[in-house]
Amino acid sequence: MTRFLRFPVRVGICAALLGLGGVVVWRTVGWVFPVDSGSMEPVIRTGDWLAVRYGDDVPELYECVVFKELVGPGASVKFVAGRPRDKVHIDAAGDLRVNGRLMPDAPGRPEPVPVFDSALSSMEGAWRHGTELFDPWERVTDAGPGEEWRLDASAVGRGAELGIMRYVERVDDGHLRADGERVHGKRTVHDVVVEFEARVDRAGGVLRVELTEQGDVFRAHVPIYGGGAAQKSYLGCGLVPGWSGPPPFDRRLPDWLAGGEISVPIGRWFDVRFENLDNHLRLTLDGQVLEYDYDRLRNTAHWNSPDGMPLSTGERVGIGGEGIEMRVRGVRVLRDLHVVPAGQYGVRGTVTLGDDEIYVLGFASGVSSDSRDRGPVKLDRLIGRAAGVVWPPERRREL
């Protein structure tokens, strides 16, 4: 055989071997799976290609799995919300309960979803601050990733609202795209997180962070005196004005739920995060943590709530203080997973899974067809786990 002929023969042999290897991998190890729906947004996006690792053993809670449809050759990807013999229930507030517990903490638990990020969208217009007569807040840099605001609350009295900047956008089951565009959802989400960087330039007052859920305001109260020395700080809960009953409105002072020593550095930037997730309050400030578990049944329902359904309306997040000078940047608002209470499995009552069943949900609950309306998934329908996004290149990541 001439050298001219040997080259295409070798190419053909290599192509055949690669094809055979691909078939072997496809049959025994895993393959790629295209996503053509938005039911897993924003974690898995329409147009993503997933690397699927074959296996039909029992998946862990919160793992993303791919399984065969009951009818036809299609397949779906969802996350695991209940394992064999678990008891699953979705309550009226959109919270997932597994064996009576709200969203058990386990590896892979869905992270809160950003709905606002000052690096992508300016705080101007999305946050309310000051009055026509006096505004202690001012933006000191241009909008963008480094947008910075300054608060001079040296003249703000104790307990006054003037020093608090409040987020005015609705917190719903939508999400924030990578380009900063807000994709709005249809349902209000109750559990909210706020995080930001702060720098206190002048002590002599209090740093305050607030989150509203249903008829209650949860407050973090951090005194800053004496050059930032550790001070007794508190987490508290009080009524939203107007939520305790018909007019006249009640403006009850907060009940302090938990306390602990927190020191606030002066003259340098530090991280602040205040979260209200699954009936658990947690304040993290410069690595120091103050937290408290509370019972949702204590939340105050709005006196005009339809059918007794819980509402979380109005301005859901507040940051600021009194008697201090402070700068903030890198402000983000996030919301927890929300499951639309629609369907007959696990919604109208608790569903108990069999020895060979799992309960699956989509992250974009409002558009997802999953175990709520289709029932549990048998283990023999599992194709495997979604190991990661492999295409497009700019979205490649592990799951």
Q: Give the integer Cα–Cα distance in Å for 184 and 335.
A: 12
Burial 32-51 (b: 16+ CB within 10 A, else e): ebebeebbbbbbbeeebbbb
Query: Does pLDDT of 128 surpass 80?
Result: yes
How many CA within 13 A on the CB side of residue 4? Answer: 0
Start-to-end Cα distance in the chain? 51
pLDDT, averaged across the chain:
84
Give domain limits for the chain.
Answer: 22-107+346-398, 113-335
Percent of the chain residues past pLDDT 70, beyond the cut: 83
In this structure, the number of other CB atoms found within 10 A of the CB of residue 21 comes to: 10
- pLDDT at position 251: 46
* Phi, psi (deg, nearest 5) at residue 18: -65, -40
User: So what CATH class is 113-335?
Assistant: mainly beta
| Alpha-carbon separation of residue 394 from 30, 120, 253 (angstroms) | 22, 18, 49
Report which listed range, 25-29, 337-341, 353-357, is most confident: 353-357
Higher pLDDT, 348 or 175: 175
| Predicted TM-score (pTM) of this structure | 0.85
Per-residue pLDDT, 246: 45
User: In terms of CATH, what superfamily is 22-107+346-398?
Assistant: Umud Fragment, subunit A (2.10.109.10)
CB 127 within 8 A of CB 345: no
Question: Cα–chain-centroid distance for residue 76?
Answer: 23
Share of the chain above pLDDT 90, in %: 54
Cα gap 277→282, rounded to integer Å: 8
pLDDT digits (tens, 9 = 90+) for 39-77: 888 888 888 999 999 987 899 999 999 999 866 568 899
For the residues 322-326, what does the mean pLDDT come to? 96
pLDDT tens track for 81-96: 999 999 999 988 888 9
Return the pLDDT at 305. 52
pLDDT number for residue 248: 41
pLDDT 10s digits, 141-187: 998 889 999 999 999 988 889 999 999 999 999 998 888 888 888 88
Q: What is the pLDDT, as a whole number, of residue 7?
A: 40
Instruction: Considering only residues 380 and 302, tell me which one the structure prediction assigns the higher pLDDT.
Output: 380
> Cβ(356)–Cβ(380) under 8 Å?
yes
Average pLDDT over residues 271-299: 87
Q: What is the pLDDT of residue 300?
A: 54
Residues 107-125 have pLDDT tens digits of: 788 899 999 999 999 999 8
Residue 203 has pLDDT above 70, yes or no: yes
Backbone phi and psi for residue 255, each to the nearest 5 degrees, phi listed first? -90, 125
What per-residue confidence (pLDDT) applies to 21?
Answer: 35
Q: Are strands 255-262 and 231-239 parallel, antiparallel or unpaired?
A: antiparallel
User: Are 208 and 217 contacting, i.e. CB atoms less than 8 angstroms apart?
Assistant: no
pLDDT band at 257 (very low <50, low <70, confident <90, very high): confident
Q: Tell me, what's the pLDDT at 2?
A: 47
Alpha-helical regions (H) of the chain = 3-28, 371-374
In the predicted model, is pLDDT for residue 253 greater than 70? no
Q: What is the CA radius of gyration of the chain?
A: 26
